[in-house]
Structure 1
Amino acid sequence: MDLLKLLNEIEDILEDSSTIPLSGKALVDRHELLEIIKEIRIKLPDEIKQAEWIREERQRILAEAQKEAETVIEEARVHIEEMVEKDEITKRAQDRSDEIISKAQSNAKDIRLGAKEYADELLRTVQGELGNLQRDVGSLIETLENNREELNGM
């Protein structure tokens, strides 16, 4: 940095200058110091501009990095939530599927048992009716035979 060099020159001039006894004051070449101060004034705006640009660039880079970090964190959070949600949905769907299958199997078993009981009852009823019908037919045949014997015996 040129400014530091110029400030060091001023410091050297002051240290090498003659001093006035008992006053603590120094004799310096006024023209030489004014030239150095003029150079400082000329270079100072450039140095300040460069430092300001560096500071602004640093701030911009930091802000950009912070924004990018926040974006990455948000994307990761959303991705994790989606994965958890998908896993939860899949788990709930599997649980619901297992529940539906279990109920369907239970209902099918109940229907099979009910159908067997109904068929058994229906067959017993038909068997009873057939037994009654067989007795009635037997009674009719016996009645007819009796009527025929009576008619033959006449």
Structure 2
Amino acid sequence: MDILYLVDRLENLIANSKRMPLVNQIMIKEGDILNIVDQMRTSIPDEIKQARRIIQEKERILAQAQSDASTLLTRAREETERAMNREGLLRTAEARSHELVRQAEERARSVVVKAEEHGEQLKADADNYVAETLSNLKDHLASIEMDVSRTILSIEKGLESL
């Protein structure tokens, strides 16, 4: 379940609760609020699992990029060797070989750099998402705790006045 959906439910529960006259307090059933808090606790691991999946996808992309770069380099070397055998002109073949290897290495570096940048961005986005979600959850849980404490205090004062 989405943590933000649970936060919205909690806010709605608070907004739609009975108001106590004169004390600017609300009454909330303990079971209702504890149910939402329990759901929040169970949904946080799902959010973290999603962030882990993003990181694993980044690692998969990097591994694929390195594999592609290696394949490209191997093909370039093979092409260079075939060109040398076919043409028989060693100098021309060497020049072509060096150029193909250089191009392949350049492409490989480019692919790896792009994959690493993309992976780092995915990881940063995942880290930011997890940090923001946890921060929001902590803020909302603190707010809920304050509201519950105020409500309990108000109830205790009401009971004492009886």
What's the TM-score, normalizing by structure 2? 0.48
Rg larger for: 1
If asked which structure has higher relative contact order (CA below 8 Å, sep 6+), I would say 2
Give TM-score scaled by structure 1 length. 0.50
